[in-house]
Structure 1
Amino acid sequence: MAQKEPVLEITLHTNKTFQTIHNFGASDAWSIQAVGKYWSEDVKNKIASLLFSTSNKPDGSPEGIGLTAWRFNIGAGSTEQGEDSQILTEWRRSESFLNADGTYNWNKQSGELWFLNEAKKRGVKTFVGFVNSPPVFYTKNGKAFSEDGLSANIKSENYKKFADFLSEVVKGVKIETGVDFDYISPFNEPQWDWKCCKQEGSPWNNDEIVEATKAIDASFNTHNISAKIEITEAGHLDFLYSEKNRPNRGNQIAYFFDKNSPGYIGDLKSIAKKIAGHSYFSTWDLETLKNTRHLLSKEIQKVDPSLEFWMSEYCILEDNDIIKGGGRDLGIDPAMYIARVIHSDLVLANASAWHWWLAVSPYDFKDGLIYIDDNKFGGNYYESKMLWALGHYSRFIKPEMIRIGTSHSDKKSLEEALEGVLQSAYMNEDEVVVILVNQLDTSKDIKISRIPKEFKAMEVYQTTNTTDVNLKKVSVLGIKEVMTLPKKSLTTCVLKR
């Protein structure tokens, strides 16, 4: 007779604390501008509920994933240029609030403003305005992409105008929606050349980022803007701690936050005390996954241990041995893949925030939490298991919870366990949240130990490969009970007083 596998015991170490978790989010690029403007109120509200709701269904399962951050794309004006913009896909053009004569039209970006309003109404607390390209009226070539990829696509004499534009956007959006941006991210993936013709974008060299950031800081101070400046949205995590193959676009932690650096801007009043980067192409193989995050964490400790790391954009772009970026897949396999990325960014890189790329996608790619028909004016929407995988974190890890230590009874380190059962835990005064990802092709019995005595009950939520088991409340257990993690599943345990 086959011997039954022993129960895997997950031990909580509440006296061992790590980073504070601020939020989980997603962005409104690119399709929200059309969905919010043209689609039916019914469908828009259903999509908003999936993204933002913190209400529960009659069975106690969450209605949505309760995002706690929302990223708003501040457009450059390629939509108004139409085909002359040279951006091939209409979805990837964006309106701008700025008119050619320097006045502003707050009826622009109305679809995105609708979702911004809904996010606020449904309880989202953190808002980031991000820029792919400066307004076309300020760029060197009058386009929202770079001609040569060598430097920022903005005339240096327009840095102040760009800065004042951002100040006006913060003020105007607040008047329109009541949303006061917490952060403005002026530079997106500055390492890339952003030449014609896929989307809005601009390269930025490090010294250009310094000068533009100083201009934005001065404008924010003049206009009494409370938003902080988020840098640098690095296209790869390794640009944060190495030069890689992009001179003057790498080593960004040291360049901007080492007090001995010629590019030090850490003392500017408006600069956020964090570094933002994207986890693309750093997730396979497992050695790359581990080493990238250890090197990032090590560099922060070396340069400024008080600096936070925010993982501000990810979707599955890479093709590797176990997954391909191309092709929609609403099932469990991509959900398992992104769960390991989220886990690794939180546990190995100590990320204080984690943001997905496209909240809503019309594409045949693994880039959306929710998918829609490729039609600007209406259609159907489709939930993915990736939506619910993120929800295991976003719905239950409340802002300002602190990550606490955990260990496995099989003595595997967090790194060694990356191919098996992943565990992480977070707590505040009222709750302990334990998230378990079973990547195995077999179920696994587990037990949580060393739970503080004041916590008496445990709610359990699961997502499995069964179509309708998505963040489903499956039970309320006693805290000493053994539970089963189904094969290829996510389980969140909420321990309550």
Structure 2
Amino acid sequence: MKNKYILLGLSYLAALCSCSDDKAFEPDYLPKITSDHAMTSTVNVAGKHQVIDGFASSDAWTMDYIGKYWSNNAKEGIAKLLFSQKVERGNPEGIGLSMWRVNLGGGTAEQGEASGITDKTRRVECFLTQNGTYDWNKSSGQQYFMQKAKEYGCNNFVLFSNTPPVQFTVNGKGSGDWWNNNLREDCFDDFADFLATVAKHFSDNGYNISYISPLNEPQYSWGGDGQEGCSWQHVHVAKMARALNESLKTKGPENTMMLLAEAAKVPYLYTTDDSWADRANVIPTYFKSDSEHYLGDLERMPKLICAHSYWWDKTWDVLFDSRTKARAEADKYGLKLYQTEWSMLGEGYEDYENYDQATYMDLALSMAKVLHHDLVTASMNSWAYWTTASQEVYSQKSRFYMIRLIPTGGDYGNIADGGTYESSKNLWVLGNYSLFVRPGYYRVDLNIPEGDKKFFGSAYISPEEDKLVVVYTNINDESIQMETSIEGLNKQVVSMRQYVTSSTSDLNEVDEYLKGYIPAKSVVTMVYDLK
């Protein structure tokens, strides 16, 4: 059965049942909107793809400072932007994140300048003290946002570690000895016990700890003064995974799984690329049964692998090629894929000459293109931003934040002195997905005959098949009038709401006469109620 629902910007919205004439009422009092182009699209609900597990961001690096030192109004406002699902008179309070990534520090904050990490916000406290006891008052600012996330209905937490606790490292610090693994050979079990113990603590306090990610970007050296980090070869990753598997079974929450391996870029999942062979080609290394480092038989190792979308994100062709190959390799082993970190590293994004020429909306549209290829081309099940909130310095614009922090002393001021904040276009573009595409939704077929590298979209259906969400991205300088048909569903559309993020709109609901109208340089979400 085919239900067809047509959206015309010059007409009053009408739900049309199967086999009826495609007619809509057009009151005289509605304003007239003229678009530059007209297009059609077809959603086929019968063509189901991956299930969506959630949209996320992380509390690195500033959330602990905000939670500790900023005013109640400021930190509550930031929490609302991240986690609220409430829409008040067409204006969302926030983007309704459904997953939250929590940084388990290695104790570099306690070391201070002796840690060798120059930026104090990148030094992180550790729950495990030097005398072997646990201090659950540490990282209180991070814990504030964990609590807020749960209060707003986000109860899917991922604990991630960039370094083992400093008492377990070779050099006694939280940044590595360049290309050498920094975890002492006699401390793999200790580190695994630490991770399982922290997970159990938060689980016992009402948090759903879905995953623990024990290591980050093992392809890099993580020497120097930039942040906590540790380099890992496959032999070390496999040893750590086996230790964590045992610790989770004996000391961890019953349902918490491990999450590997936070590959530094997508091609590391399926090729050695420019990295040493003992650090890349991640998927077959851990899931091919005859591999020396096979991990697929571990009870707490899900059929899931994760990577970061850095670097290989500058052009449509690079995105399409790398994500196609990642999906093909994952399919060989029946794996889910998660994208667990992204922000704008490097130069060369194809839709503008340079960052100086780009607007804040241009940067958000670059993110929308990455989101599209990760979700559609690679069929990833989850997508996460990296640094949720940060200051805007060195003419970086919004490359590294969803929420801009403005300390009392200005952009270069002390973050511990408090300050104000602003939402960004990045936040609201992620919200075009995260607020409406909820955990358990399936991606379904969307065909746009005239779609191209500058106009594209994806569609999602709820488990109960009572809501359909379609997200369009228009990078063009011209507007589009969209006519959408829905197939493969024995239900009727009873209503539709449309939300727009553009240079002048922050995920705001549009009036009736604007439904189906997609402005230039915008991301548009159409939410259909089905019955």
The yes-or-no answer on 1:172 pairing with 2:201 is: yes
Higher relative contact order (CA 8 A, sep 6+): 2
Q: Residues of 1 paired with 2:176 and 2:442: CA distance?
A: 42
Give CA deviations for 1:305-332 in whole Å, capped at 9, x if unaligned: x210000100111211546997898821
SS class of match (1:495):
strand
Q: Residues of 2 paired with 1:339 and 1:10: CA distance?
A: 19
User: What residue in structure 1 maps to residue 154 of structure 2?
Assistant: 124
Deviation at 1:482, TM superposition (A): 6.6
Alpha-carbon spacing, 1:316–1:239, altered in 2? closer, same or farther (3 Å): same
User: What residue in structure 1 maps to residue 106 of structure 2?
Assistant: 76
Which of 330, 340, 348 is the aligned partner of 1:300?
330
- Which aligned pairs between 1:51-66 and structure 2 lie closer than 5 A? 51-57=82-88, 59-66=89-96
Deviation at 1:5, TM superposition (A): 5.9
User: What residue in structure 1 maps to residue 386 of structure 2?
Assistant: 357
TM-score with structure 1 setting the length: 0.93
SS class of match (2:87):
coil
- Which aligned pairs between 1:79-478 and structure 2 lie closer than 5 A? 79-147=109-177, 149-175=178-204, 177-225=205-253, 226-247=255-276, 248-302=278-332, 304=333, 306-320=334-348, 321-322=350-351, 331-364=360-393, 365=396, 366-373=399-406, 374=413, 375-410=415-450, 412=451, 417-418=452-453, 420-428=454-462, 429-451=465-487, 452=489, 453-466=491-504, 469-476=505-512
Deviation beyond 6 Å, 4+ runs, structure 1: 324-330
Counterpart of 2:375 in structure 1: which amino acid? L
Counterpart of 2:93 in structure 1: which amino acid? E
Counterpart of 1:187 in structure 2: which amino acid? L
Give CA deviations for 1:132-163 in whole Å, capped at 9, x if unaligned: 0000000000000112x223211111000001
Can you give the 5+ residue segments of structure 2 that lack an aligned partner in the other structure?
Answer: 1-33, 407-412
Which of 44, 52, 55 is the aligned partner of 1:21?
52
CA contact (8 A) 1:342 1:354 kept: yes
**Between 453-462 and 151-160, the greater mean CA deviation after superposition:** 453-462
SS class of match (2:417):
coil
Deviation at 1:30, TM superposition (A): 0.5
Give CA deviations for 1:269-310 in whole Å, capped at 9, x if unaligned: 1112211000001112222111100111111122x1x21000
Alpha-carbon spacing, 1:11–1:162, altered in 2? closer, same or farther (3 Å): same
Q: Residues of 1 paired with 2:356 and 2:281: CA distance?
A: 34
Deviation at 1:7, TM superposition (A): 2.0
User: What residue in structure 2 maps to residue 38 of structure 1?
Assistant: 69
Q: Residues of 2 paired with 1:152 and 1:84: CA distance?
A: 20
SS class of match (1:8):
strand
Counterpart of 1:30 in structure 2: which amino acid? W
SS class of match (1:250):
coil
Alpha-carbon spacing, 1:482–1:115, altered in 2? closer, same or farther (3 Å): closer
Counterpart of 2:270 in structure 1: which amino acid? Y
CA contact (8 A) 1:217 1:269 kept: yes
Give CA deviations for 1:429-474 in whole Å, capped at 9, x if unaligned: 21010001111101111110135442221111111111xx111011
CA contact (8 A) 1:26 1:70 kept: yes
Q: Residues of 1 paired with 2:469 and 2:212: CA distance?
A: 30
Counterpart of 2:194 in structure 1: which amino acid? F
User: What residue in structure 1 maps to residue 4 of structure 2?
Assistant: none
Give CA deviations for 1:13-40 in whole Å, capped at 9, x if unaligned: 1111111111000000000010001111
CA contact (8 A) 2:155 2:208 kept: no
Q: Residues of 2 paired with 1:144 and 1:165: CA distance?
A: 15
Can you give the 5+ residue segments of structure 1 that lack an aligned partner in the other structure?
Answer: none
Give CA deviations for 1:364-384 in whole Å, capped at 9, x if unaligned: 231100010242220110111
Q: Residues of 2 paired with 1:223 and 1:474: CA distance?
A: 51
CA contact (8 A) 1:458 1:476 kept: no
SS class of match (2:226):
coil
Alpha-carbon RMSD: 1.9
Deviation at 1:47, TM superposition (A): 0.2
CA contact (8 A) 1:150 1:193 kept: yes
Alpha-carbon spacing, 1:166–1:299, altered in 2? closer, same or farther (3 Å): same
Q: Residues of 2 paired with 1:189 and 1:326: CA distance?
A: 26
Deviation at 1:103, TM superposition (A): 0.6
Q: Residues of 1 paired with 2:522 and 2:129: CA distance?
A: 50
Counterpart of 1:240 in structure 2: which amino acid? L
TM-score with structure 2 setting the length: 0.87
CA contact (8 A) 2:179 2:220 kept: no
Alpha-carbon spacing, 1:326–1:188, altered in 2? closer, same or farther (3 Å): farther
Q: Residues of 2 paired with 1:470 and 1:230: CA distance?
A: 33
Counterpart of 2:403 in structure 1: which amino acid? I
Q: Residues of 2 paired with 1:493 and 1:76: CA distance?
A: 43
Alpha-carbon spacing, 1:371–1:342, altered in 2? closer, same or farther (3 Å): same
CA contact (8 A) 1:317 1:324 kept: no
CA contact (8 A) 2:66 2:141 kept: yes
CA contact (8 A) 1:330 1:383 kept: no
Deviation at 1:178, TM superposition (A): 2.2
CA contact (8 A) 1:144 1:202 kept: yes
CA contact (8 A) 1:388 1:471 kept: yes
Deviation at 1:224, TM superposition (A): 4.5
Counterpart of 1:384 in structure 2: which amino acid? S
Rg comparison, structure with higher value: 2
CA contact (8 A) 1:447 1:482 kept: no
Counterpart of 1:66 in structure 2: which amino acid? G
**Between 387-396 and 291-300, the greater mean CA deviation after superposition:** 291-300
CA contact (8 A) 1:332 1:464 kept: yes
